[in-house]
Structure 1
Amino acid sequence: MSTSTFPSLMIVGCGDVGSRLGRQLVARDWRVHGLRRNIAALPLEVLPVAGDLGQLECPDTWPVGKLDYLVYCAAATQHDEAGYRAAYVEGLRNALDWLRQRGQSPKRLLFVSSSGVYAQRDGEWVDENSPAEAQSYSGSVMLEAEQVALRSGIPASVVRLTGIYGPGREWLLKQVRDGYRVASEPPLYANRIHAEDAAGLLAALLEADRDGGALEDCYIGVDDDPAALHEVVAWLRERLGVNHWSDEQSVRRAGSKRCSNARARALGWVPRYPSFREGYAAILAGKDD
């Protein structure tokens, strides 16, 4: 089979999740391009495209010819409203303009969004049909960017990922080692997905579309167990052998909701790490995926 018959993918903002996605799909005979500023950080399997999402002109190394799919999974480097707007709204608009400059019209666009678009805070179950009424600037900007994707003229799906963790994303482990305190009543539900499973969900969506499946315009990326945060902390304390508590007050979180992955699972996607237990056990064992 010649390389021209391979499905082709551009990953714009090819960081941790994007790189994992690229490796997964190259192993399945996809031709994968990855755009980021520092192409030295890309996996060897991914074809490098050096580019800055703040630029209006299409990067010189952008592929020519047919491009079957585009995944937009940029991350904000400046954590304020202006930084979010630059990364998610303006950056996406620029990437769509680059497609037009090259005369490319992918079969589908996947925009990686966030469950932060949901403002539910009383432990409610949330799915793709739940009201998305963001109360933070980050959630509001994400909703705006989702609309840019959905109105792009390209068939599009938004993928609202929950709290991504994995190797190199170990904030909670550090906090627990420092004696992290969290209220148990009322329970504060948090939602997670391992970075490898986030990539796996994106891959499942792309392959479903390639195989002629009908995709919805929105999916939530989350594991099977939106556990209460105090349960996660207790489990990690035991595994880490932490016996002390911080002198600070118990941590209070603004949000508490339980996200459902039923729609994603209906496609046949199954998380490799169904709960925090399997995911953090792999991290503590030194596994890198």
Structure 2
Amino acid sequence: MAAPRVLIAGCGDIGSRLALQLLPHGWTVYGLRRSIERLPEHVVGVSADLFDTRMPAQWPAGEIDYLVYCATPTDRDEAGYRAAYVDGLRHVIDWTHRSGQRPKRLIFVSSSSVYGQQQGEWVDESSPTLASGFSGEIMLEAEQVALNSGFAASVVRLTGIYGPGRSDLMNRVRQGYSVAINPPLYGNRIHADDAAGLLAFLLQADEQGVALEDCYIGVDDAPDPLSDVVQWMRQRLGVTEWSEETSIRRAGSKRCSNTLAKAVGWTLRYPSYREGYEAMLKAEA
């Protein structure tokens, strides 16, 4: 059998990590981004601007087995989100249709921001999507674009991604960051390698004939109160002083479940923030 061919549109940090997990298994990986010189070795570059309706000159010929869309907005305002997640996705779907390509599945990388729950509720793929801001609302709109693309599609709602180059919380704790203990403010996280790992797992499962759902949540096993995470991190970093004032990073408070993804056979490299941040600290040493 010919090696599967996947095009990763918006092949930045997560897309590159995904590529590095697929290449050892013989997959042919196309990475679409503006600066293709930043792609990992052996990824076939497709130089393109997702915001441009014109079909990229380097768009791959022949069949594409899988399409992954994991763009990042250039601007973090409403217009930036719409351009990245709705308009860009529509352009990629259009280019695929115009090329006569019929991917077996489109995977759209979404966000847990589609859930606006604020009372620490447990959330899974069947929970109401009560987006409380433009980011979640636009993500929901983009999810529908993916699901109505004419291809089999799955959306993967990733939670707070951390990892190398994504150490904002750790830096805040070093600077004396504090958070309320009561009521608990729950946070949800996933290491960047596990986020890419979930995407890779779903692609490989589909290739092996596993029936996939149309939605999965990407989160680790520990949606703990943020105060617990901060306290653990203070001890690990040796932080002894912090602000008495409470600083809150986000308005929502929910606990996301990974039960559905794990039921298909996905396993985590970093089951909780402890293992993930320990790995980051060892890399810093």
TM-score w.r.t. structure 2 length? Answer: 0.98
* Paired residue secondary structure (1:76): coil
Q: How many aligned positions are there?
A: 284
| Cα distance in 1 for residues equivalent to 2:42 and 2:160 | 27
Match of 2:25 in 1: 28
| Cα distance in 2 for residues equivalent to 1:232 and 1:40 | 37
Match of 1:11 in 2: 8
Q: CA deviation at 1:50?
A: 0.7
2:40 to 28, 40, 43: 43
Q: Which amino acid aligns with 1:233?
A: V
Mapping of 1:45-194 within 5 angstroms? 45-194=42-191
Q: 2:251 matched to 1:251?
A: no
Choose 122-131 or 40-49, whichever is displaced more.
40-49
Q: CA deviation at 1:79?
A: 0.5
Match of 2:257 in 1: 260
Q: Check whether the contact 1:23–1:45 (CA below 8 A) recurs between aligned residues.
A: no
| Cα distance in 2 for residues equivalent to 1:41 and 1:237 | 35
| Cα distance in 2 for residues equivalent to 1:215 and 1:25 | 18
Choose 8-17 or 98-107, whichever is displaced more.
98-107
| Cα distance in 1 for residues equivalent to 2:14 and 2:243 | 32
Q: CA deviation at 1:227?
A: 0.9
Kindly report structure 1 stretches of 4+ aligned residues shifted beyond 4 Å: none
Choose 8-17 or 252-261, whichever is displaced more.
252-261
Q: Check whether the contact 1:50–1:59 (CA below 8 A) recurs between aligned residues.
A: yes
Unaligned runs of 5+ in 1: none
* Paired residue secondary structure (2:122): strand
| Cα distance in 2 for residues equivalent to 1:177 and 1:5 | 50
Match of 2:267 in 1: 270
| Cα distance in 2 for residues equivalent to 1:58 and 1:32 | 19
Alpha-carbon displacement from aligned partner over 1:31-83 (angstroms, at most 9, x marks no partner): 00000111111101211111100111211111100100000000011011000
TM-score w.r.t. structure 1 length? Answer: 0.96
1:228 to 225, 228, 234: 225
Q: CA deviation at 1:135?
A: 1.4
Q: CA deviation at 1:246?
A: 2.6
Q: Check whether the contact 1:77–1:83 (CA below 8 A) recurs between aligned residues.
A: yes
| Cα distance in 1 for residues equivalent to 2:208 and 2:54 | 33
Percent identity among equivalent residues? 62
Alpha-carbon displacement from aligned partner over 1:105-132 (angstroms, at most 9, x marks no partner): 1000000000000011101100000000
Q: Which amino acid aligns with 1:54?
A: F
| Cα distance in 2 for residues equivalent to 1:265 and 1:205 | 11
* Paired residue secondary structure (1:27): helix
Unaligned runs of 5+ in 2: none
| Cα distance in 2 for residues equivalent to 1:139 and 1:129 | 16
* Paired residue secondary structure (2:67): strand
Q: CA deviation at 1:244?
A: 1.1
Q: Check whether the contact 1:22–1:45 (CA below 8 A) recurs between aligned residues.
A: no
| Cα distance in 2 for residues equivalent to 1:191 and 1:133 | 17
RMSD (Å) for aligned C-alpha atoms: 1.2
| Cα distance in 1 for residues equivalent to 2:160 and 2:42 | 27
| Cα distance in 2 for residues equivalent to 1:100 and 1:120 | 37
